[in-house]
Amino acid sequence: MLLIHPITRPQRFITGKFESFIGVSFAVGARRHGQPSAAGATRSFYSTAPVNPFPAANPSTSNLVRGCDPAVGCFSLSASNLIPVNNSFHTTTPSRFSIRSNSFSKMAATKDYRLLCLENPLLDIQAFGDEALLEKYGLKANDAILAEEKHQGLFEDLLQNYDAKLIAGGAAQNTARGAQYLLPPNSVVYLGGVGDDKYAAILHDAVKQAGLRVEYRVDPKISTGRCGVVITGHNRSMCTELGAANHYDLEHLKKPEVWSLVENAEVYYVGGYHFTVCPPAIMELAKQAASGNKPFILSLSAPFICQFFKEPLDASAPYWDYVIGNEGEAAAYAESHGLNTTDVKEIAKALANLPKENTQRKRVAIITQGTEPTIVAIQGEDEVKEYPVHSIDPAKINDTNGAGDAFAGGFAAGVVEGKSIEESIHMGQWLAKLSIQELGPSYPFPKQAYPGHN
């Protein structure tokens, strides 16, 4: 049996670019954060019909969707089935919608949406390819890069000519889908930035399949972020264009209809990649959590966040009720903050005992270590606990991409439901174990019920 634990996000620094490999977010060059958009530039989506998760029952659409189910939030769809509607796009699948200038979803904010997540949405376009496809776009078999001009044709190529699996990606969106997988319907809402294009239409359809509510800032001038994934054997070549995900702003968050969702939420989850986009939005959520004594969960996301976005990260630290990272991120934090230790337990204790704004809650620091036990430190407590990871037959492992996001989703679901730290850790490990048996950051269907921890 092989012990598997989720959070592993290798990354590297390349000239002029910060790059993370999984659940991707990049900062390319310098940009100002939180700048308001031009008048009328922000638009949202709404659905005009309920989703039919069994499209084969409709002869006109049975050949359009392959391997689609509500739990996974991903499907295969030919780009030829996307048609323009009023200069936007929708699909000819039973989930019909268009991107409109309506400012908000018709669904009113209710206490249903207890978990609110924020980060950078991407449409993952995954397909099995070959060496010829890699050579065509100058890709390496096992790599992750930012898209350049020569890569622009890749996304359409995968959609048009391959049996592409489309996933509502980006680390925190994977986490949001994971939490919704475990929680009752209408429990999770996700915020981020997309474009006004067919890729946003596909992305919106994918999250609808997963039962996830989204309120996207829509940028009419910048395309939706995409990640083309070419699978060859056990290798994955990832080519990412962040697009509109890199342009979320505070104006969208503070819109009354969006802010009402913020006020309604009981738990907040922010992926650390968003420090590269709009730190003011993170701070607004953090302060809202503290003022209402509501849990605020932050994922460190990647070592480069701790190293190169230290200032906004540290500004948010007093508001962390839970902070999640892996051993690489913990090491980067320790080095960048002069902790003079590589001991994971000591780093966890240091994170847990940072100054805290909301003193009604003890901070909990969680550090995962691959196949080694998960480390948990609690503010003001000397004991650092270890939780062994769940075991799995290696033959059942299909894809570990996004497993760390699944862990965070399971853990966040536990927090929402008021579970103990131990139970929430096990919920995260259980969901990650399911995810690595799927292709990409996905979850099995029919939906499996969490069996509880004995």
Give the number of other Cβ atoms within 10 Å of residue 17's Cβ. Answer: 13
Angle, CA 441 vertex, CA 450 and CA 235 arms, to 5°: 135
Q: Rounded to 10 degrees, what is the CA torsion of 70, 75, 79, 84?
A: 10
The question of whether 405 is a catalytic residue gets the answer: yes
* CA distances, 261 to each of 50, 254, 266, 448 (Å): 22, 10, 10, 28
- Tokens 């853990």 belong to which residue? 411
Q: Are 279 and 250 in contact (CB under 8 A)?
A: no
Amino acid letter, residue 259: W
Could you say which of 69, 197, 249, 405 is catalytic? 405
Amino acid letter, residue 439: L
d(CA 104, CA 42): 10
Q: Are 369 and 344 in contact (CB under 8 A)?
A: yes
Torsion sign across C-alpha atoms 137, 141, 147, 148? negative
* CA distances, 257 to each of 19, 359, 450 (Å): 33, 30, 33
Give the number of other Cβ atoms within 10 Å of residue 60's Cβ. Answer: 10
Q: Are 363 and 321 in contact (CB under 8 A)?
A: yes
Supply the DSSP symbol for 43.
B
d(CA 314, CA 300): 11
Q: Are 88 and 100 in contact (CB under 8 A)?
A: yes
Helix, strand, coil: what percent of the chain each, to 5?
A: 35, 25, 40
* CA distances, 333 to each of 272, 343, 362 (Å): 13, 12, 20
d(CA 250, CA 36): 7
- Tokens 């990647």 belong to which residue? 302
Q: How far is CA 379 from the centre of its chain?
A: 27
Active site residues: 405
